[in-house]
Amino acid sequence: MKLKGISWFEQHLEKVFACLFFAALLVVLALQFVGKESTVKVDKADVSLNTAWESVASKARQTSQKLAANTAPEGDTGAATRQIVEFSERFKGPVSPARELAVAIGETSSVGMPSVRIATPVAPLPEIRIPPTTDPVAVSHLTLVHPAEAEVPEVAAVLPAAMPYDKAGVTVEAEFSGEQVRRIMTTDPDGQGPIRPMPGHWLENVQILDVEMLREELRPDGTWGNATLIVPLPGRMSLREELGKPIPGAAHMKDLARLATDAADLVRRPTYYQSWLGEKWLPPSERRDNDRRLAELAGLGDDVRRLRDTAQRLSDNIRNIDDQLSRLGPGGTQPPGERPRPSPPPNPGGGGKSAPGPGGAPPRTDPGRPDPSEARRRQLEQQRDRLQRDLDVVVSRLRAMNQDVSMFVAGEAAPDAPTVAATFEPPLLENPSVKVWAHDVSVERGKTYRYQLRVVLNNPMFGQGNVMVPEQQQWASAPVVRSEPSAWSEPVKVDDESYFFMVGASAADARVNRLASARAELFVFKWGRWRKADTSLEPGDRLEATVKYPDFSVLLAGGAPGDWPVPIAGQPGRRDPTQPPPPSPPPSTSPTDTRMPPGSLPAQPDRDRREPVRPGQPDGVDVRGQKLPTLSADIKIDAIFLNVGAAPAMPGSTAAGAIVFLRDAMGRVITRTTAADQSSGLLARLRRSAEDGESDLRPADAQRPDEPRQPVRPVRPEPEPGGKSPGGGGGGGGGA
């Protein structure tokens, strides 16, 4: 069929186009094999692609050698280069001379965010060396932990299952020099050498984050072993758990350091558990000084006990007079026109059957006359002043012996009260002597331990790796650094469950048919105090005795744990002001009218004459007038008394002593000398505790078991002026 109106070109246009495209493709493909090789320009020269990389490397090496030679090119070009360098240095320098800063600012500049820094050329830094803590002092202690402390589950886990919470522990104290840390880190170690000191601003946040304590136990063979890292005191603030986790960055470490700064006293010197009654916890250095003082005064033990007994007796008599004065009411005269309370009616007249005669004197109603009890009050006050003068003399002698007289002097704090928290403490890196301590409540009674202390600080290099030389950047990965451990402390023995001391002995005498005998004092710790029992021994007797002590559990009966007063750290006997006050006492159901008579003055507050709360009294408990029930416990020592022999006199003493022979549970014969036991510092400490325990919660009118109180004689009213005496009953009328 003939195509109308379509030319041949139009019919074959696409075929022609396809042929031309195919021909061009063949030409390009042929040129790849038979054409000229592809090249690139390297330093104005055409270089094939195969050798281009070698040419570039060669040119780079040549340029590097020229830079390393550090010589300017000769000729006009070199002179121009020197002029450019000189101009650049002058342009960047100061217009006028400027003084140099005393402390380097550092080599990094913060731009907006702490993590964005501009790095400048760096130099090596000295390796961090934290000096060790020094002078470790370890002391053991026994205290009665406050019941409120047991409400914390972590604390309850380390206390006895039930009251009394008598708990043994060891506290180790040492000193750390923050000033020495700053001196080490900011001193150039090599002078003009390449090592530079650490920038000062890196040390701004350095702080003690933890105090670690390592313990070793004395084995039966005399060697040390069983090394243990002691956990922080349960129930108290510690950052150790937080430091054991991965630290996300320098910002988080700064937050921890800031927290350790705000709570520096709690981190460096954690507060021990508040005691409820009896022995108080003391810092180790103060406890050591007290023990030394007791040891020095061991030879004066009899004098000290005698003076303390005298002071206690005088104090009891003064307290008794105060009670009588408070019952008498206020002083002064009665207002005119007021009748005093009627006295019991006098005896009727004689024995007749008629009505009594008018001889009985009626009560006086003279206005303005002195109160009949005023003379008695003056007499009691004079007697009180005389007793107070005697007490002041005894107290001054006790002070001269470095004895605690706070229980005899109102308002005087005990000299062994901790005062560390009340003193000002300079910043860490300016303090040459930072006191740190740690507690160990996992000890066992009767065992001997030794301890090391070291402090944990935040690493000032942490997060600064981008401005440190590559060889030292690994130092910036550790968030904390530890000091060298201290030297081992002196061995410290935890108090045994019980003690005995041979305080007297006499050898056998066949001439008078007398057997050997001995006298021993036995001690056991109950309710916050050492309790003492005496026993007399004959050959073959076992060392045993029964000790009696008050049952303080009755003070806790009838009250829920939430009602117990909350202790305040460092303030024994004080209630936390954030706690609600104790409930008011119920109204009295007695029919006796105890109100003051009309017109009389109110009595002075009892607080004016009452002594402050004794150190042995529990917080917030008023126990005056109470008599606590008594408990007893048997003290049994695995030893049998055998015999007594003569012993040489102690150095410095002319009196001959006695040596006591005992047999222990293993069948071994052991010896104790009475002179050594009597002069023992341990015996002085235990006796002191037992004596203080006798006054714990003792009512104001209680009698001392070993010292009868001197009674205060009642005073008769003085006769009125003029020689008139109160009239007596007249004779009765006779019967009709």
The amino acid that residue 50 corresponds to is N
Least confident of 291-305, 491-505, 553-567: 553-567
Name the nearest CA neighbour of 503 among 360, 710, 374, 679: 679
Q: Is the pLDDT of residue 583 over 60?
A: no
- pLDDT for 377 equals 85
For residue 17, the number of C-alpha atoms closer than 13 Å in the C-beta half-sphere is: 6
Query: In angstroms, rounded to a whole number, what is the distance separating the alpha carbons of residues 132 and 118?
Result: 36
Cβ neighbours of residue 578 closer than 8 Å, sequence gap 6 or more: none
- pLDDT for 236 equals 94
The pTM score is 0.58
Name the nearest CA neighbour of 646 among 660, 635, 634: 660
pLDDT tens track for 119-151: 445 788 888 889 999 999 999 999 999 999 999
Q: How confident is the model at residue 465 (pLDDT cuts 50, 70, 90)?
A: confident
Highest-pLDDT range among 360-364, 644-648, 706-710: 644-648
Q: How many CB atoms lie within 10 A of CB 364?
A: 12
Q: How confident is the model at residue 436 (pLDDT cuts 50, 70, 90)?
A: very high
Tokens at 450, concatenated:
């030794």
User: Residue 641 phi/psi, 5° resolution?
Assistant: -75, 130
Name the nearest CA neighbour of 312 among 398, 378, 254, 239: 398
* DSSP structure string for 684-729: HHHHHHHHHHHTTT--TTPPBTTBPPPPPPP-PPPPPTTS-----P
Query: In angstroms, rounded to a whole number, what is the distance separating the alpha carbons of residues 677 and 682?
Result: 9
377-403 burial, b for 16+ CB within 10 Å, e for fewer? bebbeebbeebeebbeebbebbeeeeb
**Which residues, in sequence order, are bridge partners of residue 536?**
519
Name the nearest CA neighbour of 518 among 496, 488, 541: 541
Q: How confident is the model at residue 706 (pLDDT cuts 50, 70, 90)?
A: very low
Tokens at 575, concatenated:
């209630």
pLDDT tens track for 251-289: 999 999 999 999 999 999 999 999 988 888 999 999 888
Q: Residue 164, preceding bond cis, omega within 30 degrees?
A: yes
